[in-house]
Amino acid sequence: MELARRTIDAQTDAGPNEDGVHTMGAAVMAADYRMFVGVNLYHFTGGPCAELVALGAARAQGARQMRCIVAVGNHGRGVIGPCGRDRQVFVDHYPTMRVIVPTPAGLRSVLAADLMPLVQRWTPEAGMNGLDPSLYQDPETAGPPIIRFNPRYLDVVRSGAKTKTTRFRDPARPGPARLVFESDPEVVLSAEVTDVRHCLVSDLTDQDARAEGLTTAAELREVLKGHYPDLAGTDEVDVITFQVNDQTGGA
C-alpha cells in the first residue's frame, strides 16, 4: 500500500479535489516477491486503470504469477477497490491473486474470484467458460502448503541436484508440500519437507550450498542477496530440506 501511495503522490498531475489523467497508483507483488507499480492513464475512451498498468509492468519484467495487488488514490484518498472491468480481468488471468479492498470493518485481503460471485472465466483458448467452483478455493490453503520457486530451479530440483531451499520470512514446516515453479504455465511437484533448520545467514555452511546446487556458503549468500536485497548476515533464515515425490509434476 505504501509503495502504491508513494507512486501516485509522486506522479499525479491533479491537485486535491481536481480531475486529472493520473490520479490512482497501484502496486502488485509477484510470486517471487518482486514489486511492480503503475499509475492510471485516464481517457474518455477508456484508458487503463492503475492495476492493469502495474500487471503489464510485472509481465514485462518476467513475472508470471501474482500474489496480491492494491490500488491507492492520490492526495490521501487511501485504498480504493477495483472497478468491475478490473475484477473481471483479475478473475480471467489471476483468479487466485489476493486483492486488498476497503470494507466497513477496515481493509481486507480477498481472492480475486471472491470479488465476482458466480463468475465465469474467459480464457484466450476457450472463450467464456462455465462456472468453476474451484476458483473459490485458495491454493495456499486448499491442499499441502506451497513453496514457490523461480522456474530456473525446476531442472535441478527434478534431477535431485537441489534438495534444500533457504528462505527469509517465508516459513515452512515438515510434511507434505507442493513445490510451485512460477513458469507459464506453472509447474507443481509433489514433495515432502523433511527438515526445517533455523540459522543466521552468517551460519550457512558449504554443505547447505552444495544441497542447493552451489559450491560454497559465500556463493549461497550471494544468491540469497539476489532474492532478498536487504538481507544481512545477522538475519535469521529457514533452511528447508525437501524430497520430491512426483518426478513428472503437473501443469
Q: In whole angstroms, what is the distance from residue 57 CA to residue 216 CA?
A: 35
Positions of E strands within the chain:
24-30, 35-39, 66-73, 78-79, 98-103, 106-111, 122-123, 127-128, 146-149, 164-167, 175-181, 187-200, 236-244
51 belongs to the catalytic site:
yes
φ, ψ for residue 61, nearest 5 deg = -100, 15
Q: In whole angstroms, what is the distance from residue 128 CA to residue 74 CA?
A: 35
Q: Do 147 and 177 contact (CB within 8 A), yes or no?
A: yes
Q: At what angle do helices 84-93 and 50-60 cross, to 10 degrees?
A: 30
The total of other beta-carbon atoms located within 10 Å of residue 214's CB is 19
Which grid coordinates are listed for 139?
491454493
Write down the H helix ranges in the chain.
2-11, 50-60, 84-93, 154-159, 206-211, 217-227
Q: Which of 148, 49, 57, 53 is nearest to 96 (CA)?
A: 148
Q: Catalytic pick from 18, 51, 125, 182?
A: 51
Which residues form the catalytic set?
Answer: 51
